[in-house]
Amino acid sequence: MNAETKVKKYLDAIRKGNKKLNIFLHVNDKALEEAKAVDKKSKKGRLHGYVFGIKSNINVKGMICNCGSKVLEDYRAPYDATVIEKIRKEDGIIIGMLNMDEFACGSSGESSAYGATQNPRVPGKIPGGSSSGSAAAVAAGLCDVALGSDTGGSIRNPASYCGVVGVKPSYGLVSRYGLTDLSMSLDQIGTLANTVDEAMLVLDVIRGKDERDPKSVDSSALKIGKTEAMRIGVVRVSGVDKDIQKLVDTRVDNLKKQGFKVKEVEIKHIDLAVQTYYPLVYAEFFSGTRRFDGRRYGKKIDDACGEEVLRRILGGSEITRAEFTGKYYKRALEVKELITEEFKEVLKDVDCLIMPTCPGFPWKLGAAMKVEEVYASDALTIPANLAGICAVSIPAGTIREMPIGMQVMAGKGDEGKMFAVAKELSRIGL
């Protein structure tokens, strides 16, 4: 299908479906024009015919990039993030900006200042977050692919709840230039798509070293090798719903039948992931948001933000103040290092690790959840961010009509292995 036909189809679907689902915060009024222009090109790029939705914390020139917050309500980005430049260069079309938890703080999509997004697959339930709109847009058929950001699970968690594929690349694989960070030492931009192949193609386009992000690295990671001799490590974490674990175990058994070598492995300190993650995020978020002082962009964040963002700002300020004694941030960094080493060690022995994406099911929109319960829903996704390794969530099936995701994780820069196993799992089917 040419880009013009696709864009028309999606604009129509957005017009019909967005009111109910609350996925798009801004639609690109030039999308059709841009599609016609790429269709006319004699030599077309690798993303010709792909239509993108973008999480609202990634800058796209001229569009409203409000980070799901009233703080940046009327903010139109004056430039394109590196990932957007790369997508445009390969003739991808950006159709609009997607809903998200405010400043990417959340796991349900409910902290957006513009109202929660609905889960298109499970009416009345949360879509997951913070890239709530990104997963929902793909699941609802409002775009081909979406970009999200993942600090502790924000791509994989909604991908799991909405039944799509979501990739968190190794730290540094994708430039963060133009991303409004939640936590700069953990964030990665990644892709959400209907298939592993599409997620991989887009990641291949957006990755690469960028001098505007000093943490970005060169990598030939996406070369897919042979899968025959792959060794898989199964990680079990306490607190996972047993039906979810059982479903994932069935998928692993299927791999075994294909000749994969499977063994159980242990990451000793994985249970500390959530406690380790939050002090780091609070402190880095606090420091990163000091620029939202109401002078240069939008409103002063402390005055105009929602409850969860304020909690992190106040908490981050406390942590930063106590830091001269090395009480929180430094200790969290030490445990981060420990977990990183543990992953490195087990990944000497196996090529990929498999575990569920979320320990439980999506909850009812608006349900009264305790902060600790919400934080705990990322217990299985946070470890990959702490260790800087890559992880993809792919659909593992459904339980009581709710999509369930499973994660394939591999070492830093080992996206090739991760995709090979994810592709094999998709090939075998459910």
Give the binding site for ligand GLN (CB under 6 A).
Answer: 104-107, 130, 149-154, 182, 281, 378
The least distance separating ligand GLN from the CB of residue 319, rounded to whole angstroms, comes to 14
Picking from 114, 90, 94, 93, the residue whose alpha carbon sits closest to that of residue 102 is: 114
Q: Catalytic: 132?
A: no
The least distance separating ligand GLN from the CB of residue 211, rounded to whole angstroms, comes to 25
Query: What span, in angstroms and rounded, lies between the C-alpha atoms of 202 and 50?
Result: 9
The least distance separating ligand GLN from the CB of residue 395, rounded to whole angstroms, comes to 20
Q: Catalytic: 8?
A: no
The least distance separating ligand GLN from the CB of residue 388, rounded to whole angstroms, comes to 14
- Say which residues have a Cβ less than 8 Å from residue 40's Cβ, sequence separation at least 6: none
Of 6, 55, 412, 423, which one is the catalytic site residue? 55
Nearer to ligand GLN, 188 or 227 (CB): 188
Structure tokens at 383: 């470890």
Picking from 147, 171, 156, the residue whose alpha carbon sits closest to that of residue 219 is: 171
Query: What span, in angstroms and rounded, lies between the C-alpha atoms of 190 and 206?
Result: 9
Structure tokens at 401: 């009509």
- Say which residues have a Cβ less than 8 Å from residue 115's Cβ, sequence separation at least 6: 22, 99
Of 108, 130, 134, 216, which one is the catalytic site residue? 130
Q: Catalytic: 256?
A: no
Q: SS3 letters for 64-97? A: ECCCCCCCCCCCECCCCCHHHHHHHHCCCEEEEE
Nearer to ligand GLN, 197 or 318 (CB): 318
The least distance separating ligand GLN from the CB of residue 151, rounded to whole angstroms, comes to 3
The least distance separating ligand GLN from the CB of residue 227, rounded to whole angstroms, comes to 29
Nearer to ligand GLN, 18 or 130 (CB): 130
The least distance separating ligand GLN from the CB of residue 360, rounded to whole angstroms, comes to 14
174, β-bridge pairs: 207
Query: What span, in angstroms and rounded, lies between the C-alpha atoms of 352 and 408?
Result: 6
Query: What span, in angstroms and rounded, lies between the C-alpha atoms of 56 and 149?
Result: 10
Of 154, 160, 219, 393, which one is the catalytic site residue? 154
Picking from 100, 121, 118, the residue whose alpha carbon sits closest to that of residue 54 is: 100
Sign of the torsion formed by the C-alpha atoms of 177, 416, 204 and 106? negative
Nearer to ligand GLN, 7 or 273 (CB): 273
Nearer to ligand GLN, 152 or 405 (CB): 152
Query: What span, in angstroms and rounded, lies between the C-alpha atoms of 27 and 60?
Result: 12
Q: Where are the beta strands (DSSP E) in 86-144?
A: 93-98
User: First-to-last CA distance in the chain?
Assistant: 28
Query: What span, in angstroms and rounded, lies between the C-alpha atoms of 293 and 235?
Result: 43
Nearer to ligand GLN, 92 or 362 (CB): 362
How many C-beta neighbours within 10 Å does residue 236 have?
A: 15
Question: Are 76 and 89 a contacting pair, CB within 8 Å?
Answer: no
The least distance separating ligand GLN from the CB of residue 182, rounded to whole angstroms, comes to 5
Determine the residue with CB nearest ligand GLN. 154
Nearer to ligand GLN, 69 or 149 (CB): 149
93, β-bridge pairs: 51
How buried is 245 (Cβ within 10 angstroms: 0-12 exposed, 13-18 middle, 19+ buried)? Answer: middle
Nearer to ligand GLN, 159 or 425 (CB): 159
Q: Which sequence positions are flagged as catalytic? A: 55, 130, 154
